[in-house]
Amino acid sequence: MIHKRSNLKPAIWDDFFRGNRLACARLITAVDNHPDWIPEILDRLIPRQKGAIRIGITGPPGVGKSTVTAALARRAVKAGHTVGILAVDPTSPFSGGAFLGDRVRMQDLGDDGRVFIRSLASREGHGGLSPSTPYAADVLDAFGLDRIFIETVGVGQAELDVLTCVDLTVLVLQPVTGDVIQALKAGILEVADLFFVNKADLPGTDALLESLKFLFEISRPREDRPVPPVMAASAREDRGLDEAYAEIERLIQALVQSGRYDEKKQARLEREIQLAIREYLWERYAAEAGAHDKLRSVVERLLRDRQSPFPYIRDMCARVRLELVKGKASGKNDD
C-alpha cells in the first residue's frame, strides 16, 4: 500500500477521540477519497479500537436491506449499543427513490446521537462497492461504536470481498423465485450466518422456507459451521424483528466464545499484510524491469510470432534476485 502524508489538520485526532461526529465523517471521507492516507490514519486508530462487531447485511436488490438494517439498528440502540451504519449509494438512478426513502427513515435514527450513518459512494466497475468500506468500518470502530452494520448493494463477488471484512453476515431474501438460486451461485450460502426472509407476509414465503430447508439438507454444510438459522419477518410491518435481533446477538456471543471471532480477525489481517507486500514486490519488479513500458512490446511480439508466454515468464522469473537485508521488523524502521 502506497503511503503518503495526509493533509489532515492535527486537531482532527483530538476532536475525533473526543467523539466529534464531524471529525468522524471527515476521516471516513479521507479513507474513501485518499487510499494512500489509509496507513497514516490506521496507525492512529488501531490502538484505540475496542473490537466492534461488524455485521454485513446482504441480499439481492429490492429485498428491503435498508429497511431491515434500520430495524435491526434500532433494536441494537435499544439494547444499549452504539451503532454505525455503512451503506453504499447505488450509482443507478433506478433504485434512487426507494433508497432515499430508506435513508430518510435511517436519518431519524441518526438524530439519536448513538447512531452514526454514512453512505459511501459506489465505485465504477464490478459490484459497485467502495473498496474503502473495511477502512470506514475501522474508523467507526475507533470512534467507539460497538455494532457496525454494513449494507451491500447486491449479491456478487464484490459483495463477497467486502463480506470478508465482517464478523457476521445476514442474507436478506424475499419470497420471489430465483433469488435463492442466485445467492447460491454467488457462493453466499457459504458465508451467510443468518437467513432473513423479509416480506414474509407475501405469498411464496412457505415455499421459500421449504427450499432453504431442502438446500441445507442436500448441501454439505462446512464442518466447522452449524446450519444457519432462518428467520421469517416483515421489516416494513415490523414483525419478527425482535426475534431476528435476539438471534444475531446470540450468534455474536457464540462467535466470540468459540474463538472464531479472533480467528477471522487473524485471517483478515494476514491477508491484508500479504496483499500489501505483494503489491510492493510487483512495483519493485516493474521499476527494475521497466515492465510498465516494456511489457506491452513483449506482448505484441509474442502475439505476432504466435509464441507461448511461458518461456518469457520463466526467463524473467529466473533473472529475479530477491533477498531480505537484516533489520528489526519491530514496528520501527531503524535501518
Q: What residues from 5 to 34 belong to the interface with its own copies (CB under 8 A)?
A: none
Site for its own copies contains 35 (CB under 8 A): no
Judged by CB under 8 A, the residue of 156, 175, 228, 240 near its own copies is 156
Judged by CB under 8 A, the residue of 11, 94, 112, 239 near its own copies is 94
Site for its own copies contains 111 (CB under 8 A): no
> Would you say 190 or 210 has its CB closer to its own copies?
190
Smallest separation, CB 193 to its own copies (Å): 17
Please state the length of the chain: 335
> Would you say 105 or 123 has its CB closer to its own copies?
123
Smallest separation, CB 50 to its own copies (Å): 9
Cα separation of 185 and 206, whole Å?
22
Site for its own copies contains 207 (CB under 8 A): no
**Strand-pair partners of 117:** 85
| Region binding its own copies by CB under 8 A among candidate stretches 68-76, 108-116, 253-261, 314-322 | 314-322
**77 within 8 A of 112, measured Cβ to Cβ:** yes
**60 within 8 A of 127, measured Cβ to Cβ:** no
Site string for its own copies, 251-270 (x = CB under 8 A): -----------x--xx--xx
**Strand-pair partners of 234:** 239
Judged by CB under 8 A, the residue of 153, 168, 170, 208 near its own copies is 153
> Site for its own copies (CB under 8 A): how many residues?
95
Residues 215-254 that bind its own copies (CB under 8 A): 218
> Would you say 69 or 73 has its CB closer to its own copies?
69
Site for its own copies contains 209 (CB under 8 A): no
Site for its own copies contains 178 (CB under 8 A): yes
Kindly provide the residue ranges of all beta strands, DSSP E only, lying in 200-308, ordered along the sequence: 230-232
Nearest in space to 119 (alpha carbons), one of 214, 25, 17, 233:
25
Cα separation of 41 and 39, whole Å?
5
Smallest separation, CB 55 to its own copies (Å): 20
Cα separation of 167 and 286, whole Å?
36
> Would you say 25 or 302 has its CB closer to its own copies?
302
Smallest separation, CB 284 to its own copies (Å): 5
* Backbone torsions φ then ψ of 229, nearest 5 degrees: -70, 150
Smallest separation, CB 40 to its own copies (Å): 8
Site for its own copies contains 104 (CB under 8 A): no
Residues 113-132 that bind its own copies (CB under 8 A): 125-128
183 contact partners, CB below 8 Å, separation of at least 6: 59, 60, 155, 171, 173, 189, 192
Smallest separation, CB 6 to its own copies (Å): 13
Site for its own copies contains 89 (CB under 8 A): no
| Region binding its own copies by CB under 8 A among candidate stretches 74-82, 157-165, 197-205, 239-247 | 157-165
Judged by CB under 8 A, the residue of 12, 23, 42, 87 near its own copies is 42
> Which single residue is written with the C-alpha cell 457476521?
168
Judged by CB under 8 A, the residue of 25, 26, 35, 39 near its own copies is 39
Q: Which three cell numbers stand for residue 248?
A: 444475531
**196 within 8 A of 233, measured Cβ to Cβ:** yes
Edge-first strand listing for the sheet containing 115-121:
115-121, 83-89, 147-151, 53-58, 168-173, 194-197, 230-232
Smallest separation, CB 75 to its own copies (Å): 28
Distances (CA, A) of 67 to 118, 172, 242, 331: 15, 11, 14, 44
Nearest in space to 9 (alpha carbons), one of 26, 32, 25:
26
**115 within 8 A of 85, measured Cβ to Cβ:** yes
